Structure 1
Amino acid sequence: MFAIDLHDRISLVTGGARGIGRACGEALARAGSRIAVVDLDEATAAAAADAIAAAFHVATRGYACDVRDPAAVRRTFDAVASDFGALDHLVNNAGIQFVSPIAEFPDDKYDLVRGVDLDGVFHATKAAWKHLVARGRGRIVNIASVHGLVASPFKPAYVASKHGVVGLTKAAALEGAEAGITVNAICPGAVMTDLVRGQAADLVRSYGGGISEEEALERAFLQAMPTKRFIDVAEVGALCAFLCSDEARSITGAPIAIDGGWSAH
């Protein structure tokens, strides 16, 4: 049976305390990688890191960082490389959502979503780059979205940002190729995380009311997915771990859909 081996590797996961980020950290740890969990709150990041260490018996550590702040990102990534001795993998997972029709979309919310979901990926990629080059290989996995491939109503900032992440992935892959750095984007469909659950009330309002939150989530997500089921975070984590492996060394610049067929139509 094929087994992913990431022993002697160090992986940094932004937004790594919960949801898809937590699942990616767990999958990487299961394969033997040491894990740096980066999240907004240090206590939350540390608790997630401790749980991963206990479950998979690898070295971990939690760090607080706002990915919108390039100076803070540089300091944090340099600290990770110093604490662990190197940096091999970057998983850009930190992300937020805001749902509203375009005509009512607040300017500050647009800036916030773009700042985290797109600018944060750039800041993190830039900060990690020198560490990956120093290792002579590297893996960057950007958690984009099916909304980096297609669009849905009421999510202009998120859709624009995730399309930008796919473009940034391709540009970084070209620059990283000769240095042994691969850069790929995972594009999940509907994964039942706090980010998705948190959209329910705004979706009800955006659809004009008169439906339940469960109906709003189904209309926004499952109707577009031929499989008609939410994706488990572990599925995304497993794909992330594979993309970080040596066996995936020829996959780069790829937006990879894991979306139940959403983007196939």
Structure 2
Amino acid sequence: MAAVQENDDDGGTRPGASAPPGAGPLAGAGPLAGRRAIVTGGASGIGAACVRELAAQGAFVVVVDRDAEGAGVLAKEVDGEVWAVDLLETGELEDLALEADILVNNAGIQVLSPIEEFDPADFRRIHTLMLEVPFLLMRAVLPSMYRKKFGRIINVSSVHGLRASAFKAAYVSAKHGLEGLSKVAALEGGPHGVTSNCVNPGYVRTPLVENQVADQARVHGISEGEVLERIMLTESAVKRLVEPSEVASLVGWLASEQAGMVTGASYAMDGGWSAR
């Protein structure tokens, strides 16, 4: 059994967490000017692409990650703010009140193992980070969104929120749970001008996927060179990885005024995988 990670947690030593972000300054020009965004797992991969996209559209972005150094470099690049935090320490999130117009729940980890060999601690850790944490952050931002009569909750789900794959019991079930949570938030938030949607990419060119190649090769007993063709992309009509910038472009649109009537939806970006 092996864990691979992207963005928020790798099960290693926890760095010192900074205080939760305050109201902070707001960015200038662009369609999202005056909006404040929070992106979890924001230091790399999909999260970093979302940070850059939202900042390019004028939002002030809080980069949330355990990797304080990486988050700091990116925050400096986009004139944003860092919130260095271990999101698995959920007790620190239960009483938060956060000011935000846009929340992107992106942080995620992966463990591959047959169910009968799956470590219960890994199962709980994945569900904590990828289902409980989005709930706690929604709970923290919704009062401010309701007061302003505007909010965008964007959950980076996965094709595995719509379809299952072997050896991913925790990841698949957590993403399916996130889909349901997102729909509940859509129903509750609608009267207050708050939307909630999921983005469902297939395999994205990120450290998480690159690390999975070796894991998949081990589990299936094949070479790493065969993993993309025979496993990762076998269900996709378009035989390539999704680029992080493509996911971020959809996130940017869902954050916009133009997406005000889009809520409770799940947007597949999987090369046709879920069309089967």
Change (3 A) 1:192 1:246: same
TM-score using structure 1 length = 0.89
Match of 2:209 among 196, 209, 212: 196
After superposition, residues 1-265 of structure 1 pair within 5 angstroms as 5-51=31-77, 53=78, 59-73=79-93, 78=98, 81=99, 87-207=100-220, 209=221, 211-265=222-276
Superposition deviation, residue 17 in structure 1: 0.6
User: 2:68 and 2:143 mapped to 1: Cα distance?
Assistant: 25
User: 2:95 and 2:62 mapped to 1: Cα distance?
Assistant: 14
Q: Which amino acid is the alignment partner of residue 111 of structure 1?
A: R
**Range with greater deviation from structure 2 (116-125 or 68-77):** 68-77
Change (3 A) 1:64 1:89: same
Q: Which amino acid is the alignment partner of residue 176 of structure 2?
A: H
Moved over 4 A (4+): 74-77
State percent identity of aligned pairs. Answer: 43
Q: Which residue pairs with 1:56 in the alignment?
A: none
- Report SS of the residue matched to 1:224: coil
Superposition deviation, residue 136 in structure 1: 1.4
Tell me if structure 2 keeps the 8 A contact 1:67–1:116.
yes
User: 1:226 and 1:182 mapped to 2: Cα distance?
Assistant: 30
Change (3 A) 1:217 1:163: same
Q: Which structure: greater helix fraction?
A: 1
TM-score using structure 2 length = 0.86
* Root-mean-square deviation (Å): 1.5
Q: Which amino acid is the alignment partner of residue 149 of structure 1?
A: L
Tell me if structure 2 keeps the 8 A contact 1:148–1:163.
yes
Task: Provide Cα deviations, 1:207-238, integer angstroms capped at 9, x if missing partner.
Answer: 1x2x2223124333111111011111111000
Count of aligned residue pairs for this structure pair: 247
User: 2:91 and 2:128 mapped to 1: Cα distance?
Assistant: 14
Q: Which residue pairs with 2:26 in the alignment?
A: none
Change (3 A) 1:184 1:148: same
Tell me if structure 2 keeps the 8 A contact 1:37–1:49.
yes
Task: Provide Cα deviations, 1:177-218, integer angstroms capped at 9, x if missing partner.
Answer: 0010000000011111111111122212211x2x22231243
User: 2:37 and 2:59 mapped to 1: Cα distance?
Assistant: 6
